[in-house]
Amino acid sequence: MVKEFCGVERHSTQVHRAHCGTPVAGFLFGLFCLLSLPGCGLTSQQRIIYDSSGIQVGIISDLSTDEHASPPVKNRHPSEVTPREIRSLLGSLEVSGWSGSIIGAFTTPKLRPVFTDGELVLLAEPLAAAFHQATSRERIFFSIQNPTEPYETDRTSGSLFFRDEYLHVALTDHYAFLKADPGGGEARDPRDTKGVKLWVAQPAQAAIVPDEKAPHWDALEMAHISLKPMEVLAAQSVPRKTTDSSRRQATVPAAGPPAVKADTPVPNATDSVNDLRLQIRELTSANLDLRSQLKEQSAMMEKLKAELEQLRNEVQTENVKPERKPSRKQTPP
């Protein structure tokens, strides 16, 4: 048995020398082993949770996590978040940018909601399901095609993840802003971020994340912002007051914490439009909740009707059965 073990050990040594006899071969063999390891964190894997109506929602590996760091860097997943909370959180986000020309960088950015009311309705349930299934090493991604031009490559896409007490949102593209066309049939530069920036509509505010908790964003995630969900939801439940000051807070720059946009006078008409837009979103959420409750009540009524019909049938069956009369014994005369 000792000889057999020595033979195995000698064979393993020979294989190791065959692969690692030269520095180049050793390097290539090591590289092959690293790339062939599944789940080693070097590759990004994804799975689709929802794919319908031009909208995709899925789960993807988060390469910014590091469980071996001190302290470990991992996401707060799975996370129990309701569709209504998702609609409220994402409904507070707005985006600005320009289309096709850098001249937009020198003009006042025009803000618009990141998601339409219809997109929020379609995204809420799949995102809630994805957050429930994701692990601490994964994040959620979404992709929405342009509803008016579905064949264009410009899409609203990005990712979300909970980490510590924050909800981090990265926007890599938005179909409202078209990429510059280089002409000549050349491919568009993927680094063309169109000057996209994320904003938070008041009364909600962007969170200032300390450096030790700030995620590591890659080169294509220049437009990102962080929220404290509890604070945003609490702020939205407080009645809004119309003011003449700016109602936005700037996104987090790529190299530092978010800066608060200075108050500048804006027309009262803009504030009225923003108030109406928020009221419409709140009414939409309330209507969806009422619709869900009505559906549950209808199901309960159908169940009660079925039970009542069953009881009625049982009562009728009992009434139809002939009554047994007691037999009378004849007495002898």
> How far apart (Å, rounded) are the C-alpha atoms in residues 193 and 96?
11
What is the rounded average pLDDT of the residues 269-292? Answer: 68
Phi then psi for 319, rounded to 5 degrees?
Answer: -70, -30
Q: pLDDT tier at 223 (50, 70, 90 boundaries)? A: very high
What is the rounded average pLDDT of the residues 225-243? Answer: 81
What is the rounded average pLDDT of the residues 281-303? Answer: 76
| Cβ pair 113, 93 in contact under 8 A | yes
pLDDT of residue 13: 45
pLDDT over threshold 50, residue 253? no
What's the pLDDT tens digit per position in 3-62?
444 443 444 444 344 444 444 445 544 544 444 444 444 456 899 999 999 999 999 999
Q: Which one has a higher pLDDT value, 270 or 286?
A: 286
> How far apart (Å, rounded) are the C-alpha atoms in residues 171 and 223?
5
User: Of the ranges 101-110, 160-169, 248-257, 275-284, which one carries the lowest mean pLDDT score?
Assistant: 248-257
C-alpha distances out from residue 145 to 50, 52, 148, Å: 14, 11, 9
What is the rounded average pLDDT of the residues 192-199? Answer: 79
What is the rounded average pLDDT of the residues 234-243? Answer: 69
Residue 78: name the closest of 25, 41, 133 by CA: 133
pLDDT over threshold 50, residue 262? no
pLDDT over threshold 60, residue 166? yes
pLDDT over threshold 60, residue 251? no
Return the half-sphere exposure (C-beta side, CA atoms, 13 A cut-off) of residue 233. Answer: 14
* Paired tokens of 307: 């039970």
Amino acid identity of 108?
A: T
| Cβ pair 113, 156 in contact under 8 A | no
pLDDT over threshold 70, residue 161? yes
> How far apart (Å, rounded) are the C-alpha atoms in residues 116 and 280?
11
Q: Tokens 């020309």 map to which residue?
A: 101
User: C-alpha 33: how far from its chain's center?
Assistant: 34
| Cβ pair 229, 85 in contact under 8 A | yes
pLDDT of residue 44: 64
pLDDT over threshold 50, residue 265? no
What is the rounded average pLDDT of the residues 255-284? Answer: 56
Round the average pLDDT of the chain to a whole number and report it: 75
Residues in a beta bridge with 60: 46, 139
The structure's pTM equals 0.60
Who contacts 139 (Cβ-Cβ below 8 Å, separation ≥6)? 59, 60, 61, 62, 75, 77, 159, 160, 161
Amino acid identity of 115?
A: F
What's the pLDDT tens digit per position in 321-331?
565 555 565 55
pLDDT of residue 4: 41
